[in-house]
Amino acid sequence: MRLNLVVIMLLALIQFSCNKEKEDELTGKIVSLERERVLSKAEKYLEKPVLTITSEKSKRSTGGIHDFYSEGDYWWPDTTNPGGPYIRRDGLTNPENFIAHRVLMRDLSLIVPNLTAAYLITKDTVYANKAIEHLKAWFVNDATKMNPNMLYSQAIFGRYTGRGIGIIDAIHLVEVVKAADKLEAEGVFTGPALEATKGWFAAFNDWITTHQYGIDERDNGNNHSTCWAMQVAMYAQFNENDSLVNAMESFFKHTLVPDQLAADGSFPKEIARTKPYGYSLFNLDAMYTLAEILSWDNPDIWNYQYQDSLSLKSAVDFMYPYVADKSAWPYQEDVMYFDDWPMRHAAFLFAYQAYDKPKYFELWKDLNPSSEKNEIIRNFFVRQPLIWI
């Protein structure tokens, strides 16, 4: 019996050694690929002022200076009723809506993960310290921090002061939290500031899992539900809230997969939208990022099948040929921004790690890693692979 135990331990050690070798090899590849891009941006971000939502205020917001505010993208003035409630034009973004808080949050999601990646490459604490300065401004300092809710997100003039659907604006906090988690693991983010940041996200998670807006978002049924679960899982992992992580695993297995994934690997609810290509890629990234987060406690999540028929791997395999050759896309083109996709979608990197198929990595590495367009930045939320591997 002791001999069997020794054999088991040796096999486990060999497996660990092999996995570590693969991880180190992948890290080396990504450092080589990303070094110039990451460090050039990091130098610019070192000089960028630290701003939070308290630096901008919309006169249409019913919240206070610490409350995040945004307006629904696809809502426009009604030409038949000037001054009346806005009307919906799906897929068409109204450029006159208030987006300042979104831009500030997206800037945070560009800056903190990039500075963290620069620190991982160089081990120069100047990058880590600047990232932490931004984290403190957003989640710790009383004068500048955001309130831990999204009560006033995606408001609609004449209709709603905020909506549950607005919680999706906070997807850009997911990679920010991953960066904070990495900085903690590296031993450079510690003490009261770290605990206060964790406390902020614990409070935010409590809000999005109990408030009616959060429940509405959870039950939305398409990419909004995926992004809700992705956020909850990330913030729960940051706070070591195992019960909430387990709840998100159950939600993934028994709700998201059967409700959204077709047998061929497509997402029918996204294909039915006016931006089927962009939304399919967006939901694919969210699904795979959620699975990546859940895999830290349960690596077997990658091989999960619902009733032996629906698997997450089929989703990346469905989109693979249309990312490799967009002209083969068999559905309608997106009404806007079709030419700007695809990007360097994290789903293919995570799939490479999970399934050890080089074709995923080869496709991923040759895709565009960044964009200057707000709409693309908004829907492309995992940009720093070094902090994830």
DSSP string, 138-162: HHT-TTTPPPS--TEEEEBTTTBS-
Per-residue confidence band for 61, with pLDDT thresholds at 50, 70 and 90: very high
Which pLDDT belongs to residue 3?
Answer: 60
What average pLDDT is seen over the chain?
A: 94
359-to-230, 266, 331, 349, 353 alpha-carbon distances in Å? 26, 19, 24, 10, 11
Name the residue among 117, 18, 101, 19 with its Cα closest to residue 57.
101
Mind listing the pLDDT tens digit for each residue in 170-222?
999 999 999 999 999 999 999 999 999 999 999 999 999 999 999 999 999 99
Q: Which residues contact 257 (CB under 8 A, 6 or more apart)?
A: 304, 306, 310, 312
Mind listing the pLDDT tens digit for each residue in 156-165?
999 999 999 9
SS3 88: strand
- Pairing status of strand 69-71 against strand 87-88: unpaired
**Are residues 259 and 251 in contact, defined by beta-carbon separation less than 8 angstroms?**
no
Give me the residues paired with residue 87 across strands.
76
Which pLDDT belongs to residue 93?
Answer: 86
Terminal alpha carbon distance of the chain: 37
Which pLDDT belongs to residue 8?
Answer: 57
Q: What percent of the chain has pLDDT over 70?
A: 95
Determine which of 82-91, 233-242, 311-320 has the lowest per-residue pLDDT on average: 82-91
CA distance 195 to 212: 27
Domains, in order of start, for the chain: 33-218 (1.50.10.100), 219-389 (1.50.10.100)
